[in-house]
Amino acid sequence: MSLGTKIAWDDTVLPFQLDVSDMRGRVARLDGVLDGILKQHDYPEKVEALVAEMALLTALIGQTISLRWKLSLQVQSKGPVRMIATDYYAPKQEGEPARIRAYASFDRERLTDGAPFDQVGEGYFAIMIDQGKGSQPYQGITPLAGGSISACAEAYFAQSEQLPTRFSLSFGKSTEPGVGEHWRAGGVMLQHMPKASPFVATSEGEGQILTAEDLVDGEEGENWGRVNILLDTVEDLELIGPSIAPTDLLVRLFHEEQPRVYDAQAVQFGCTCSEERVRQSLSIYSAKDIEKMTTPEGKVTADCQFCGAHYVLEPGSVGFDADEA
């Protein structure tokens, strides 16, 4: 493989199962997806790191949802980074790539010298599942705590889904010779095989937040502890994986657990914005409201925060007065 050539396992999520310990998981590698997401905005590096972590978590979790469903992750905070939002659109048909988009809202002047997670303050981490028309969307939330967004995701699965879950992630700017500096990310998600289907439990439990260790005991607890010790041996470069295939990584880490892999899911950067969707979002406004949004040039404009698309509309064609016409 020559330098600069796309690596076969980039922008993929590989599902696997550990037969000995009754665990399942995913290995994700993101490259072009992150480039598509991050080039839309001039984010400071600490904000880029948070968006990269969220995108990686979105890829790992999103691979579990059914065709045509949508998974959304969101961080809402009182800190300098006010919000991070990601969407995962599952393929419409088997064999097609999934699409991921993401963006962050932040106050540049409030950013500190601390670590990326220090830029989010008090708030919550949320996971939302939209199964399409005619279904009730599912949402679960957990407080922002634990030192990383991945720790928040682990707490969410323990608390809301009663599923022991572990993430091991690595992300940063790649400086390979002959390739322009760019962000890469890779990670492993481990999850105890559920006693019921995922995303069906209701959000319960006030007070102390559950952890994965609270959910397993006896032989299950021994298996969970052993597999996590093995995962603790992974190195950052192995996770990011410019030279290690996901299947090779699984053998290195879990060969005694008898890993079994399934078909990899390709992912790509993609947005669903359109002029029609912009019109729908503006349909709640009256003619007076639309007039306030109109530019001196006599146009109504809208920008997509996810992909940077710019829309220019005639004032008379938007708003609920236009719908009634």
Each residue's pLDDT tens digit, 85-123? 999 999 999 989 999 999 999 999 999 999 999 999 999
Domain boundaries of the chain, sorted by first residue: 12-197+208-269, 275-324
Find all residues with CB under 8 Å of 280, minimum gap 6, and list them: none
Q: Is 299 helix (H, G, I), strand (E, B) or coil?
A: coil
CA–CA distance, 290 with 157 (Å, rounded to integer): 42
DSSP H or E segment with residue 270: none
Please name the residue ranges forming H helices in the chain: 32-38, 45-62, 149-156, 218-231, 236-240, 246-254, 275-282, 287-293, 320-324
> Looking at residue 277, what is its pLDDT?
74
* Dihedral sign of CA atoms 34, 64, 234, 148 in order: positive
pLDDT in tens, 123-134: 999 999 998 888
pLDDT for 3 beyond 50: no
* Average pLDDT of the segment spanning 250-277: 89
The reported pLDDT for the residue numbered 168 is 97
Burial status of residue 35 (CB atoms within 10 A of its CB: 0-12, 13-18, 19 or more): middle
Statement: the pTM of the whole predicted model exceeds 0.85: no
Give the fold, CATH level 3, of 275-324.
CBS domain Like (3.90.1280)
- Model confidence band, residue 18 (pLDDT cutoffs 50, 70, 90): very high
Task: Enter the tokens of residue 173.
Answer: 């700017």
- Is 65 a residue whose pLDDT tops 80? yes
Q: How far apart are CA 45 and CA 111, in angstroms?
A: 11
Domains 12-197+208-269 and 275-324 belong to one CATH topology: no
Report the pLDDT value the prediction gives residue 209, as an integer from 0 to 100. Answer: 64
Least confident of 153-167, 201-215, 269-283, 299-313: 201-215
pLDDT of 199 above 60: no
Q: Is the pLDDT of residue 150 over 90?
A: yes
Residue 30, token pair as written in the block: 């993101």
Centroid of chain to Cα 308? 19
pLDDT over 50 at 180, yes or no: yes
Give the residue among 218, 158, 168 at the shortest CA–CA distance from 190: 168
Give the pLDDT score at 228: 94
Higher pLDDT, 164 or 179: 164
For the cut 90, the answer to whether the pLDDT of residue 302 exceeds it is: no
Q: For residue 26, what pLDDT is reported? A: 97
pLDDT higher than threshold 90 for residue 303? no
pLDDT at 210: 66
Residue 203 clears pLDDT 50, i.e. is over it: no
Residue 44: pLDDT over 90 = yes
Q: What is the CATH number of domain 12-197+208-269?
A: 3.55.30.10
Query: Has residue 285 got a pLDDT over 70?
Result: yes
Mean pLDDT taken over the chain = 85
Instruction: State residue 204's pLDDT score.
Output: 41
pLDDT greater at residue 2 or residue 255: 255
**With bands split at pLDDT 50, 70 and 90, how would you rate the model's confidence at 321?**
low
- Residue type at 76? Q
For a pLDDT cut of 70, what percent of the chain falls above it? 88
With a cut of 60, say whether residue 2 has pLDDT above it: no
Q: pLDDT tens across 219-240, in order?
A: 888 999 999 999 999 999 999 9
User: What distances in angstroms separate CA 11 from CA 31, 150, 184, 309, one per listed residue?
Assistant: 6, 19, 10, 23
